[in-house]
């Protein structure tokens, strides 16, 4: 568990999604896996990559 950070200004079109970015920043995460369009639209925010679940599975959990 981490204490979320407060974002200095809204980032996502849907302000309810900003909490996920705040938690990612607090935990120093580099990736969020989500199908949420508003989060996907801000991929790259402070170097946090947003990936759809299928893309995550294909890129990071693919079997040889």
Count the domains in the chain.
1
Please tell me the pTM assigned to this model.
0.86
DSSP 49: E
> Would you say residue 8 lies in a domain?
no
> Would you say residue 34 lies in a domain?
yes
> Would you say residue 19 lies in a domain?
yes
Give per-residue pLDDT as tens, 23-64.
999 999 999 999 999 999 999 999 999 999 999 999 988 765
What is the domain extent for residue 22?
15-60
Res 63: pLDDT: 67
> Would you say residue 37 lies in a domain?
yes
Residue 14: name the closest of 28, 25, 34, 5 by CA. Answer: 34
> Would you say residue 38 lies in a domain?
yes
């Amino acid at each position: 568990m981490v204490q979320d950070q407060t974002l200095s200004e809204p980032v996502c079109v849907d302000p309810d999604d900003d909490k996920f970015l705040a938690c990612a920043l607090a935990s120093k995460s580099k990736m969020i896996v989500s199908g949420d369009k508003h989060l996907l639209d801000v991929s790259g925010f402070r170097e946090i990559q947003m990936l759809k679940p299928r893309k995550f599975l294909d890129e990071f959990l693919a079997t040889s």
